[in-house]
Chain A
C-alpha cells in the first residue's frame, strides 16, 4: 500500500496517530491537495462511524481514531487555511445546564469534525442563553445539545424553548443516554440521534434539507 492517502485512511480506521501524521505529510509533499487529504480523513472517520454504529467497535476505538485524525489535522489545517478551504457548515455543541458529563458530547464533536463540520465546542453545564448567543455569533447551521442525566432533561426542554421563541436559521439536534425521539419531538427539537455516528448522518441530512 504505497498510496499515502490510502495509508491515511487505514491509519484513521485503526487509530494509529504516528502513521496518520506521516501519511498526511507524505501525501501533501507528493502533491495531494488539501481537499484530497481532507477527503481521506473523512473516509476514514466515516468507516469508524459505521463500525461504531454496527457495534463492531466501541468508545475507546473511536477516541483513538479521533486522536489520529487530530494529528493529521494539525498538519493539514495550515494548508486548508492557505487554500481558503473552510468547512461548509458549523455546529455549536454543548451539554445543557446542570450536566457535567461530556464523554458523549465529545464523541459527537470528534465525529462531526471528522465529517468536516466546523465544530464550536462550548463545553458543559451551559445556560440556555449562552448556547443561543453562541449559535448566533458563529452563524451556526446546527446546534447540538447533550444531556446524560434524567434530571437535566428539563434544562434541555428550556434551552430548546428559548431558541424556538424567535425564528432562527439553525436546526437543533439533541442526544444523550435518557433522550428519546419522543422527547425530542415533544420539546420541539429538529432531530434526535441515538449515537455519535448517527448524529453525523442526521446532521448531513438536516443541512442538506435546509
Chain B
C-alpha cells in the first residue's frame, strides 16, 4: 500500500497499517532549496523543487502544494506585503469602505499567481502524485472575508448583518471556484484553511461560518474528492461545531488538546489530524524533542484510527529539517516509536548516581555493553545482541557481553553515561562503537581484539 493510499484511507476513517504523515511544507520548501519565501511562492519551478526535496527528506504520505492564504485575496484586489521567510500578508482591504462586492475583480485561473500554483500542482502530480496525496489549500470563507473587508467583518456581525451574509456567501462561491480549479489540476484532498475560526465562539461559527463551509464541503463531496478543515489557533471551543460540518477531516494546531479532538471527531465519524508543536519543538527543539512529540501526538490520538500526524499549521521557513526527518523516521518504523517512548524527559536532571558503571580501564576483561530497547521484543536489538555474542565466541578471549534495556533504569543509566546516540548500540569498553547498524562479525571481532590489546 502506498503512502498516498494509507493517507486516503485514514482520511475516510478506514483501517491503516500505520499512521500517515503530512508535513505542511509551505515556505519551508524555499529554505530547502535556498530561495526566500517570495521567490518560492512566485515560481512553479521552485515550488516543485521544494516539494521534491521535502518528499525525499521527509517521506510524507501527503503534501500541500501551495500553503499561501493570500492567493485568492491577491486576485480579488488586496495588496500584499512580502517578507523573506513568511507568506505574504494582506495590507489593504478592497471592501474597507463598504460591501461593494460586485465591484471586486472576478476570480479567474488566469489571474495573479493562480496559473503558477495550478501548474505547480500539475507538475507535482506528475513527479510525486503516484505515491503522495496532494492537498489543495484554499482560503476559508471567514478568513477571506477578513482579507477583503478587514476586522470590521467581526463588528458588522452585530449591526451590518446583510453585508456580512452577502460577503460570506461570496467567499464560499470563490472557494468552490478554487475547488474546481484544484480538482481539475489533480488535487486529491481539498483543505479549507480558516484560521480566523479560532477567534470566534461557537454561536458565531454555527450561525455565520458553518453554513458557508458546508457549501464548500458538500460541493467537494459531490465532485468525489475528500475535504479537510484546517484551523490554526485555539479552536477548542468550536471543535464540536466544526465536527458537525460536512468535511471528512479536521486538522488543528498545538493549542488544541488532541485527546479531546480525538474524542469529539471519532464520535462524529470524522478523521482528524495535528498537532506537532511548531515553535517549541520543530523550530527551536532538537531531534529528541521531535521524537517525544510524535509519541505525545500518537498517544493522545489513541487507538481507533482516522488519525493523520501533521504539524499544527504551516511549517516555519527555518524549521530544522533534521527534526522533521526524525518525525519521518518514527512514522516509518514502529520500533523507533518504542525507543522514543523510553527517552528520558527533556528536563530530566537525573544523573543516575545509584547505578555506577565500571571503571573500564581498570578491568582485565573486555566489557561489551549492548544498549537495547529489549532484545525479547525488538528484532534489531535481538540481532545486534546475537551478533555481539557470536563475535565474542569467535574472539575467544576474556570478554563479557551484557545487555542493558532502556525500558529499565539500568538501561537508561548506561545510555546516558556512555553517550549512546542510537538504539540499539554496541559499546566496547565504555565507548560507543556501532550505533544502530549491526556490524559484520569480522569487524566486531577486530574491535574486541583492539580493545584487549589496549589493556
Interface residues of A (CB under 8 A from B): 15, 55, 57-61, 63-64, 67, 98, 100-101, 103, 106, 149-151, 153, 177-178, 180
B233 surroundings in chain A (CB, below 8 A) = 177
Q: Are A98 and B83 in contact (CB under 8 A)?
A: yes
Looking at the complex, which one of A15, A55, A150, A153 makes contact with B237 (CB distance below 8 Å)? A55
Judging by beta carbons under 8 Å apart, are A178 and B278 in contact?
A: yes
Contacting pair A150 B155 (CB below 8 A):
no
B86 touches A59 (CB 8 A): no
Given contacts A151-B316, A178-B278, contact A59 B283 (CB under 8 A): no
Most buried by B among A60, A67, A178: A60
Q: Mostly helix, strand, loop or mixed at chain B's interface?
A: mixed
Q: Give chain B residues whose Cβ lies under 8 Å from the Cβ of A15.
A: 158
A150 touches B204 (CB 8 A): no
Tell me the minimal C-beta distance from A92 to chain B in angstroms. Answer: 22
How does the 8 Å CB contact mask read for B134-162 relative to A, with 1 for contact and 0 for none? 00000000000000000100110110000
CB atoms of A103 and B199 under 8 A apart: yes
Q: Nearest residue in B to A152 (C-beta to C-beta)?
A: B86
A149 contacts B86, CB within 8 Å? Answer: yes
Q: Give the residues in chain A near B283, CB-CB below 8 Å.
A: 150
Contact of B214 with A by CB under 8 A: no
Complex Cα gap A58–B316 (Å): 27
Alpha-carbon separation in the docked complex, A177 to B253 (Å): 11
Q: Is A60 a contact partner of B279 (Cβ separation < 8 A)?
A: no
A153–B279 touching, CB < 8 Å: yes
Smallest CB–CB gap between B159 and chain A, Å?
8
Residues of B within 8 A of A (CB): 81, 83, 85-86, 89, 91, 151, 154-155, 157-158, 199-201, 204, 233, 237, 278-280, 283, 316-318
A57 to B86, CA, bound (A): 31
List of B residues within 8 angstroms of A103 by Cβ: 151, 199
Question: Given A101-B89, A106-B151, A151 and B318 touching (CB < 8 A)?
Answer: yes
Q: Give the residues in chain B near A149, CB-CB below 8 Å.
A: 86
Q: Name the residue on A nearest B80 (C-beta).
A: A100
Which of A63, A67, A98, A150 has a CB less than 8 Å from the CB of B279? A150
Contact of B155 among A58, A64, A100, A177 (CB under 8 A): A64
**From B158, B199, B318, contact of A64 by CB (8 A):** B158
Question: Contacts of A100 on B, CB cut-off 8 Å?
Answer: 81, 89, 91
Q: Which residues of A contact B83 (CB under 8 A)?
A: 98, 151
3 tightest A-B CB contacts, nearest first: A60-B154, A100-B89, A59-B199
Cβ of B83 to closest chain A Cβ, rounded Å: 6
Q: A100-B81, A151-B86 are in contact. Are A58 and B279 (CB under 8 A)?
A: no
Q: Hey, which chain B residues are within 8 Å of A180, CB to CB?
A: 279-280
* Assembled-state Cα–Cα distance A67/B155 (Å): 9
B260 to chain A, nearest CB (A): 14
Chain A residue contacts of B200, Cβ below 8 A = 58-60
5 extra interface residue pairs, beta carbon distance < 8 Å, beyond A55-B237, A60-B204: A59-B200, A60-B199, A63-B155, A98-B83, A150-B279
* A57-B280 contact given A150-B316, A151-B316, CB 8 Å threshold: no
Give the complex CA separation of A67 and B317 in angstroms: 37
Given contacts A55-B237, A100-B91, contact A60 B155 (CB under 8 A): yes
Nearest to A182 among chain B residues (CB) is: B280
Contact of A151 among B151, B155, B317 (CB under 8 A): B317
Instruction: Assess whether B86 is in contact with A63, with CB atoms less than 8 Å apart.
Output: no
A57 and B233 CA atoms in complex are apart in Å by 16
Instruction: Output the least CB separation between B199 and chain A (Å).
Output: 4
Distance to closest chain A CB from B212 (angstroms): 16
Contacts of B278 in A (CB 8 A): 150, 178
User: CB-CB < 8 A to A106: which residues of B?
Assistant: 151
Give the Cβ gap from A112 to chain B, nearest Cβ, in Å. 17
Which residue of B is nearest A14, CB measured?
Answer: B158
Distance from B353 Cβ to chain A, minimum over Cβ atoms (Å): 28
B85 touches A151 (CB 8 A): yes
CB distance from A124 to the nearest CB of B (A): 9
Can you name 9 A-B pairs with beta carbons within 8 Å?
Answer: A58-B199, A58-B204, A59-B154, A60-B155, A98-B83, A106-B151, A150-B316, A153-B279, A177-B233
In the assembled complex, the CB of B289 is this many whole angstroms from the nearest CB of chain A, namely 13
In the assembled complex, the Cα of A60 lies from the Cα of B85 at a distance in Å of 30
Cα–Cα, bound, A63→B83 (Å): 28
Residues in chain A near residue B279, CB distance under 8 A = 150, 153, 178, 180
Whether A60 pairs with B158 at a CB distance below 8 angstroms is yes
* CB <8 Å contact, A60 and B316: no
